[in-house]
């Protein structure tokens, strides 16, 4: 069905001509058929989409069920650690590691002075058949006792920066023992300290606890001396030694590194950039802390479990470098130090 419409056209000579075009109009029957066909196509598409969604949900339910029934990874910590480290950080890190391991990661909270028996009971209350249990160094003896009672469960002891301390405490190598990679930490810290100096006065202060001095000093200087210009570096065991040093009478330091000592320096809050090797929540730190190097158990869960799963009895774990821009650091310097970390 259709109708004809004539429209006038003007030629170049001014003559008017009429051209005719046919406007096709569908009959009610044709329109109804097309509407019904469109409806059927929509139903088919909807069924296909619903089938895909149903399949996705079914797979998700199956995967989540498998995730729940798989034996979890347990990590032992004390009550005091959690607020200092930050509950939000714990949640963030455990969710990420759980996703990558496809296992639940559950925290076993105990009192710092809890006995080995109490800790073992607390672990069993959380899970009677864990995939593995992670003990920080302060609970190394409890880890040994738990392993003796449950030899089928892998026990991981994290020494942190105190390499060799676990064996001296438990006297056995039946557990998986991992320490923090101090070389990686201090080499990068040296390079970052040099970048933060950025041609200022070339003076760096480093506070080191006695146990790691022998390993850390040489490695730090290797990273620091990547620059052509040599930097003046002063090492201190504690804040009192720093206070009595003639080095502080001149112009201030361009960067300070705190590694297990000299935390009193933070109270000065003098605007000097600080590199802090700590697991403390950054929200508890002053604004001049520009880098936190975190070797906490929650940072090293993923590495430790994978190494233990591969049967690696001992080894080193990387720390997490977290940067901040609380003081005036230009964008170029910030990009540089982030690249090093």
The string of pLDDT tens digits covering residues 194-234 is: 888 877 767 889 999 887 777 788 899 888 887 656 778 88
Question: What's the pLDDT band for 155 if we cut at 50, 70, 90?
Answer: very high
The encoded tokens of residue 64 equal 């989540």
Report d(CA 223, CA 221) in Å as an integer: 5
pLDDT at 209: 87
Looking at per-residue confidence, does 62 or 76 come out higher? Answer: 76
For residue 33, pLDDT beyond 80: no
Q: How confident is the model at residue 325 (pLDDT cuts 50, 70, 90)?
A: low
Higher pLDDT, 94 or 224: 94
Segment 290-305 shows an average pLDDT of 95
Q: Name which residue leads in pLDDT, 243 or 236.
A: 236
Cα angle for residues 148, 308, 317 (degrees, 5° grid): 115
Confidence category of residue 250, pLDDT binned at 50, 70, 90: low
Mean pLDDT, residues 274-291 taken together: 92
Residue 110 DSSP class: E
* Pairing of β 289-294 and β 274-277: parallel
Model pLDDT, residue 276? 95
19 falls in which pLDDT band (50, 70, 90)?
low
| Exposure b/e, 1-29, CB count within 10 A at least 16 = b | eeeeeeeeeeeeeeeeeeeeeeeeeeeee
Position 198 scores a pLDDT of: 76
pLDDT at residue number 4: 46
Whether 309 has a pLDDT exceeding 60, the answer reads: yes
Residues 206 and 257 sit within 8 Å (Cβ to Cβ): yes
Own/partner pairs for 31-40, CB < 8 Å, 24+ apart? none
- Alpha-carbon distance of 262 to 279, in angstroms, equals 15
**Most trustworthy range by pLDDT among 12-16, 166-170, 211-215, 236-240:** 236-240
Q: What is the mean pLDDT of residues 176-187?
A: 94
> Which of residues 33 and 262 earns the better pLDDT score?
262
Q: In the predicted model, is pLDDT for residue 139 greater than 90?
A: yes
Beta-bridged to residue 135, according to DSSP, are: 157
Of 285, 313, 281, nearest to 298 (Cα)?
281
Residue predicted with more confidence, 183 or 66: 183
Q: What gap in Å lies between CA 19 and CA 7, rounded to an integer?
A: 6
Fill in the DSSP letter of residue 76.
Answer: E
pLDDT at 302 over 70: yes
Average pLDDT, the chain: 84
Confidence class for position 41, pLDDT limits 50, 70, 90 = confident
Sheet holding 232-236, edge to edge: 232-236, 203-208, 255-259, 274-277, 289-294, 320-323
Task: Give the H or E element holding residue 321.
Answer: strand 320-323
What is the pLDDT, as a whole number, of residue 32?
65
């Amino acid at each position: 069905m259709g109708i004809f419409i004539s429209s006038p056209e003007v030629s170049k000579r001014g003559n008017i001509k009429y051209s005719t075009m046919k406007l096709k109009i569908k009959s009610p029957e044709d329109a109804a058929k097309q509407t019904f066909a469109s409806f059927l196509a929509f139903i088919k598409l909807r069924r296909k989409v619903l089938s895909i969604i149903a399949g996705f949900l079914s797979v998700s339910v199956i995967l989540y069920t498998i995730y729940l029934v798989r034996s979890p990874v347990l990590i032992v910590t004390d009550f005091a650690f959690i607020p200092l480290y930050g509950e939000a950080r714990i949640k963030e890190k455990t969710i990420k590691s759980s996703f990558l391991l496809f296992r639940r990661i559950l925290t076993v909270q105990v009192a710092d002075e809890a006995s080995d028996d109490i800790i073992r009971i607390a672990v069993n209350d959380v899970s009677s058949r864990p995939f593995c249990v992670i003990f920080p160094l302060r609970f190394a003896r409890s880890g040994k006792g738990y392993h003796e009672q449950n030899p089928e469960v892998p026990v991981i002891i994290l020494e942190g920066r105190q390499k060799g301390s676990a064996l001296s405490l438990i006297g056995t190598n039946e557990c998986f023992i991992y320490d923090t990679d101090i070389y990686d930490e201090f080499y990068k810290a040296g390079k970052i300290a040099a970048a933060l100096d950025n041609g200022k006065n070339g003076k760096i202060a480093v506070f080191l606890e006695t146990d790691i001095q022998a390993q850390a000093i040489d490695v730090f200087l290797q990273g620091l001396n990547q620059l052509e210009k040599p930097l003046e570096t002063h090492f201190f065991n504690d804040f009192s030694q720093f206070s009595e040093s003639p080095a502080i009478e001149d112009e201030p330091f361009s960067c300070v590194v705190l590694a297990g000592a000299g935390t009193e320096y933070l109270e000065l809050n003098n605007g000097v950039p600080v590199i802090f090797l700590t697991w403390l929540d950054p929200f508890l730190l002053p604004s001049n802390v520009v880098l936190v190097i975190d070797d906490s158990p929650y940072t090293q869960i993923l590495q430790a479990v994978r190494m233990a799963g591969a049967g690696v009895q001992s080894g080193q774990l990387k720390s997490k470098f977290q940067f901040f821009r609380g003081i005036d650091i230009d964008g170029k310097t910030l990009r540089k130090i982030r690249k090093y970390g």
